[in-house]
Structure 1
């Protein structure tokens, strides 16, 4: 009041009226109230910042999978070679990539010499069979005479011995003929099983060497994926589990676990899992031996809590949700994400009855007040 009066100095002989003093008093009171209001702490309003809908985590059955890497290799690869030496290759009937059937002729060698050996063996067999017939007739006459005394014991023994020797010569001739026929069959290189030719080292006109490899065959066109897993992971894998394999070409091939290696590799400390692949269409088209691929091994199903993706807020590299508390306030809670499927995400760190903001989490902050609608 004194400050206000100083602004209006009273001159000598001048008297302030009562009304002026009243106005000055009102102004002073108003200024004091303004100063008091400005110095008082402000209170946060309780107006909702967002209208939200609440949901609870949903219990779902999730497929448990294990990720592994490995190589695609033939199930079995046969080495097709020749057992003969010194013969010239005169015919080639198969190339790399050809699908062949069991018994199909892949190559032929010059068999003129072997054909001559077969003919010679047949002639020798005919000769020994004729000698056997004569010996058997003589032996039969000796048997008819019996003990009449017309022949001595020495003559009888000689007749029976010739018969036995003739039979032995026949057996020997048959064996020689069979051997020549086997050699003749070896001049034809045939496929030992159905499959796909994966390699060919044979060249037309080359002279063979015993044991020389001519072709390599992927038996039945079957491929396998040899996945590497840790020893702890191998305990979760069982034969018969399904596998989904992503190929470098972008295609997907399914398979089935056939076997798990009984030992651990000393170098990698990993266990090999053998998976039979079932490519669609022609074999060795989608998947090829030597490919490196990543796959998912299905381990079974388990229950877990899940939320829609709209309820998850990714902030600073972490997953968060907003849960409802008293007075319609929300609290930011960090969760751990797991598997994802059909727009749902597996979450860990929430109770099944927790009320979670369904959408709009990006517009909220910790402690905000919301309006909840059903």
Structure 2
């Protein structure tokens, strides 16, 4: 090869080396511009996320409990007179009744006969009294003439007093018979729901035997069982929510806190009046919660949580814009927010949503999430 050809070949090789050197990428991050916060340029991030900080809100505490549903008050309906046959049954189990409504009627044939007899005895006693009164009046007229002795006159007066007492006795017997007649109509002592009926048509009843049982005013209450420590936090008037076996939730309010604890179970009863919508039935066993006074709680949006392997995580973002996972312990959940018991600092920057798409150490672009309302969640 002659000299000019060698010079041309060396020039071509040198130009090729210069092109390759110009095309080689610079070291990672060597010339990457940084933003004001020190984070890498958003062009290098894998995701744009909103961040928020844990917020302390006054949250009402809740007390979980279980217990049976029972009647607010039971009303036992029994006959006040005995020895009579049930002639009519006007209601059955499940009937809603009003005060004074007829529930059953007893046969009153024998009492009608007694009534007629007492009316006759009363008329006889009245006639006897009238005669005795007339005799006394005549004796008074003859008293001054000496036609009757003082002893005879006194006897007339005694006879009149005896007749008057006999009349009062006959009147009392008549009143008693009329009362028994009224008692053959067995009526509801108050508004309510017939829960049981033991009365049988044609049966001869005894005074005091239970015929019907009513749920007074159809009111049902939840009797929650709590221990001594929980009992100290419950007050009358607190709100409650009861979940029925059907899954339906019923609102209520604490009516009474039991004054004593059972010597057998060591637990006390809290009586919660329930809204009367007919869903709650006596005898159901239900679970529920009682709302206690509000207490400060550190909270995050529920969307910030990522659940993996049975644990809850959140992702925090450091000053360099890198995401890091943290295991957290959570508590109550209300209105799309969750209480954080441990695992994250109060001033941490937490990814508000989309954490499931992140992994430790990835670069993110940060925007701020709106702050939650500061009012108590209810």
TM-score by length of 1: 0.79
Name the CA distance, whole Å, in 1 between partners of 2:120 and 2:271: 55
Aligned residues: 330
Question: How much has 1:251 moved relative to structure 2?
Answer: 2.4
Q: Which runs of 5+ in 2 are unaligned?
A: 1-27, 33-39, 369-378
Contact 2:143 2:153 in 1 (8 A): no
* Residue in structure 2 matched with residue 362 of structure 1 by the alignment: 356
Correspondence for 1:185: 182
**Alignment TM-score, normalising by the size of structure 2:** 0.79
CA contact (8 A) 2:67 2:285 kept: yes
Q: Highest Rg: 1 or 2?
A: 1
Residue equivalent to 1:371 = 365
Deviations 1:33-63 (A, max 9, x none): xxxxxxxxx99x9764544332112333323
Shift of 1:264: 0.9
Unaligned runs of 5+ in 1: 1-41
Q: How does 1:240-259 map to 2 (within 5 A)?
A: 240-259=237-256
The question of 1:100 aligning with 2:97 is answered yes
1:288 aligns with 2:281: yes
Q: How does 1:79-228 map to 2 (within 5 A)?
A: 79-143=76-140, 149-228=146-225
Q: Distance in 2 between matches of 1:120 and 1:236?
A: 67
Deviation for aligned residue 1:146: 6.2
- Do the aligned residues in 2 keep the contact of 1:254 with 1:279 (CA within 8 Å)? no
1:345 maps to: 338
User: How many angstroms apart in 2 are the aligned matches of 1:98 and 1:187?
Assistant: 21
Candidates 228, 231, 239, aligned match of 2:228: 231
Deviations 1:312-347 (A, max 9, x none): 222332222223334334443332212212222121
- Identify the match of residue 268 of structure 2 among 267, 271, 281: 271
Please tell me whether the aligned partners of residues 253 and 279 of structure 1 are also in contact (alpha carbons under 8 angstroms).
Answer: no
1:56 is aligned to 2:50: no
* Cross-structure match for 2:308: 315
Give distance in 2, aligned partners of 1:250 and 1:238: 26
Tell me how far 1:143 sits from its aligned partner. 4.6
The 3-state SS of whatever aligns with 2:211 is strand
> How well do the aligned residues superpose, as a CA RMSD in angstroms?
2.7
User: What corresponds to 2:18 in structure 1?
Assistant: none
Aligned position for 1:261? 258
* Kept after mapping to 1: 8 A contact 2:218/2:276: no
Change (3 A) 1:212 1:312: same
Distance 1:330 1:110 in 2: 87
CA distance in 2, matches of 1:243, 1:211: 39
Q: Secondary structure at the match of 1:88?
A: strand
Q: What is the deviation of 1:150? A: 4.8
- Counterpart in 2 of 1:306? 299
Aligned partner of 1:27 in structure 2 is none
Offset, 1:118: 0.9
